[in-house]
Amino acid sequence: MNSHLNASAAKPLIKKEGSSWFIWLLPAIALIVGSWLLFKSITDAGVEFVLHLDVEENSDIIPNKTEVKFFGMKIGVVKSMDLSEDLAGVNAVIEVDKRAAAILQPDTQFWLVKPEVSITQITGLDTLVSGRYITFQFGPETSKLAKSEIAKLPPKQFDFTALSDAPPKPEYLGGLHLRLKSSRVGSIPNDAPVYYKKILVGNVERSTLQADDELMIDIFIQEKYKHLVNNHSRFWNASGVKVEGSLNNLDIQLDSLTSLMIGGVSFETAPLAGKYKTVNNHHEFDLYAQKADALTKSKRIQISFNSGDGLKPKTLIQYQGINIGEIETVELNPKADGVVVTALLTESAANLAREGSQFWIVKPEIGLASTKNLGTLLSGFYITVKPGKGKLTNTFEGRETPPTIQVKNEGLKVTLTAPQLGSLKAGVKIFYRNFPVGVVDGAELADNAQQMLIYATIAPKYAPLIRQNTKFWNASGIGLNFSLFQGAQIETESLESLLEGGIAFATPNNKDMGDKVEAGTQFKLHDSSEDDWKAWAPNIQLAK
């Protein structure tokens, strides 16, 4: 029994347990996820490049925080920084999204955006919150490609040097890029405004000194204003305030408050722009020191006047209400009995400098017969011109008054002849029995230069008053007749003719008046009337 018990106790009891393979599942999953993350990190990894920055430009650049942005969208970040070998700057290692790797082209330009506050504009204001960031623009070669083509470009360069300032706006963004040549830049800084007739149309981008010591100023004209520029546009320095003259003749030139404080450029274009050509990017213009030089460098002329009263440098020359030039100098002529005016005409007005052109001074006129040019009381005298048709010339005999030429008034046209013009001029009235019935249209010297031809028009209703034997006389001013026995006799037609001048006429009584006259009939203009003329009282039926 004991042996049976011992044998039974010696047999072990074996119990079958489940499989333990699942303990390897977690490591397997971890391996798969890790492999996937490694694969993703490799396939999604950005592209790195090195950007060299000056010491002054690397301030506030923080690895893993300072971003690369394009139109406000983050496309990369600064990964690390170290000093350059020459200790003059830093090398920033930057990683950009692989989808933006196409920006790494040989002509791509990078720069650091920082806040700038000036009178003309505030830029980079967002950096006050987010910190400074790096941005870029494509160069001229890359920007010629279509956007779809640029996106497919492989990265070609991995080492760049940052610009110290933002470069000129790229051409692919539109607008017009121009270059202005100047012997001196004056006070025109970067970002200074560019004006067209005092409207802000662009800005100065940068100024560079050329090998010949000429300054080249790059400016940008906004897309919506580029049609204002053609190959005959004129640019000038509008910086500061220019004061010329004396206490009683002060000329102050100021384009705008902004140009006064920081400088600027202005330009204008000739009014006949349809005859000129548009310009392309990088077209070069001269930058003149002042507006007068810019707009009046085309044609220099000399005009002689009997008197220089009211004429001074900067006095305008106008034609049909448009400024076509201005006086440069006023000097005595060699005989000291008049002045010689040197003036500069704009290019568009150069053809007015022809033989036969007549220049005269426009002054205010105040009187009973007419009141004209009151604006010159404030603006000052100016010179205007009646174009001639002869050959081009640059010397002229100026007039103190407008040329008295015949104008078109409705009625009977007659011509009066007189040895002197006297005070008669266009607009002077013609009287019959002290009643105005006509007007002087104008006058000119006869072809033989022996007398004046005075053109007059009688209103249609009063044309029947003019007959073959009608007598005309100068009724201007006061007539004084004096005799020893009768004393002095003062005569004047009217207060109006006394002040402004005039012509009077009388027609003999019916049997002596003669026939009606045709247009263009000539009459002698007598210096004064005879006693019996004023006694005439013909019975003449007026026209209806």
Mean pLDDT value of segment 235-239: 82
Most confident of the ranges 365-379, 402-416, 504-518: 504-518
| pLDDT value, residue 57 | 59
From the list 79, 49, 53, the residue with the least C-alpha distance to 65 is 79
Structure tokens at 331: 């000097």
Comparing C-alpha atoms, which of 234, 236, 235, 226 is closest to residue 278? 226
- What Å distances lie between residue 379 and 241, 310, 372, 390, 392, CA to CA? 19, 11, 14, 32, 31
**337 pLDDT tier (thresholds 50, 70, 90):** confident
The rounded distance, in Å, linking the Cα atoms of 103 and 52 is 16
Q: Which of 92-96, 274-278, 473-477, 519-523 has the weakest average pLDDT? A: 274-278
CA angle 277–280–281, rounded 5-degree value: 155
* pLDDT for res 371: 46
pTM of this structure: 0.42
pLDDT of the residue at 262: 53
- For range 237-258, the mean pLDDT: 51
pLDDT of residue 485: 42
In this prediction, residues 196-203 reach a mean pLDDT of 88
The answer to whether the Cα torsion of 305, 306, 311, 317 is positive or negative is negative
pLDDT of residue 252: 47
Of residues 204, 137, 133, the one with CA closest to residue 173: 137
Predicted confidence (pLDDT) at residue 237 exceeds the cutoff of 50: yes
Give the separation between CA 136 and CA 125, rounded to whole angstroms.
18
Q: Is the pLDDT of residue 499 over 70?
A: no
pLDDT at residue 24, as a whole number: 73
Closest CA to 373 of 422, 324, 454, 427: 427
Question: Which residues, other chains included, contact 180 with Cβ-Cβ below 8 Å and sequence gap of 6+?
Answer: 216, 217, 218, 219, 235, 265, 284, 285, 286, 287
- The CB-based long-range contact list for 308-314 (8 Å cut-off, 24+ gap) reads 308/338, 308/339, 308/341, 310/361, 310/363, 310/380, 310/381, 311/339, 311/341, 311/361, 311/381, 311/383, 312/245, 312/249, 313/244, 314/244, 314/245, 314/251
The answer, yes or no, to whether residue 183 has pLDDT greater than 90, is no
Average pLDDT over residues 245-269: 57
DSSP assignment string, 358-410:
EEEEE--B-SSS--B-TTHHHH--EEEEE---S-B-SEEE-BSS--------S
pLDDT at 472: 96
Q: Residue 110's pLDDT is what?
A: 93
The mean pLDDT of 48-66, rounded to a whole number, is 81
Task: Report the percent of the chain where pLDDT is more than 70.
Answer: 73
Report whether pLDDT(247) > 50. Answer: no
The per-residue pLDDT of the chain, averaged, comes to: 78
- At 427 the pLDDT is 81
Q: What is the pLDDT of residue 515?
A: 94
Q: What is the mean pLDDT of residues 194-223?
A: 86
* Model pLDDT for residues 452-497, shown as the tens digit of each residue: 999 999 999 999 999 999 999 988 754 444 444 444 444 445 444 4
Q: For position 377, what pLDDT does the model report?
A: 45
Q: How far apart are CA 180 and CA 187, in angstroms?
A: 14
| R_g over Cα of the chain | 45
Host H or E run for residue 257: helix 257-262
Mapped onto helix, strand or coil, the DSSP state of residue 154 is coil
pLDDT for the residue numbered 17: 55
464 is written with which tokens? 């029947």
Q: Give the three-state DSSP class for 351.
A: helix
**Pairwise pLDDT comparison (185 vs 194), residue with the higher score:** 194
**Separation between Cα atoms, residue 256 and residue 139, nearest integer Å:** 34
pLDDT given at position 6: 55
Give the model's confidence band at 77: pLDDT under 50 very low, under 70 low, under 90 confident, else very high: very high
Q: What is the pLDDT of residue 7?
A: 53
Check residue 524 and give its pLDDT. Answer: 96
- Across 18-129, where does the E strand assignment appear? 47-54, 67-70, 73-83, 89-96, 109-113, 116-117, 122-123
Query: CA dist 29 to 34, 36, 39, Å?
Result: 8, 10, 15
What are 344-395's pLDDT values in tens digits? 888 778 888 999 999 988 875 554 444 454 444 445 678 889 898 889 898 9
DSSP class of residue 448? Answer: T
- Flag whether pLDDT at 525 surpasses 90: yes
* Distance of alpha carbon 115 from alpha carbon 2, whole angstroms: 104
* Distance of alpha carbon 359 from alpha carbon 349, whole angstroms: 13
Please give the pLDDT value at position 521.
Answer: 95
Q: Is 46 exposed, middle or buried (0-12, 13-18, 19+ CB in 10 A)?
A: middle
**Would you state the pLDDT for residue 233?**
86
Give tens-digit pLDDT for 92-126. Answer: 999 999 888 999 999 999 988 876 555 444 454 44
Q: What's the pLDDT score for residue 360? A: 87
pLDDT band at residue 13 using 50, 70 and 90 as cut-offs: low
pLDDT for 121 equals 47
- Other beta carbons within 10 angstroms of residue 254's beta carbon come to 12
Lowest mean pLDDT among 87-91, 132-136, 463-467: 87-91
- Split at pLDDT 50, 70, 90, the class of 79 is very high
Share of the chain above pLDDT 90, in %: 26
Which residue in the block uniquely carries the two structure tokens 């940068």? 206
C-beta separation of 267 from 212 below 8 A: no
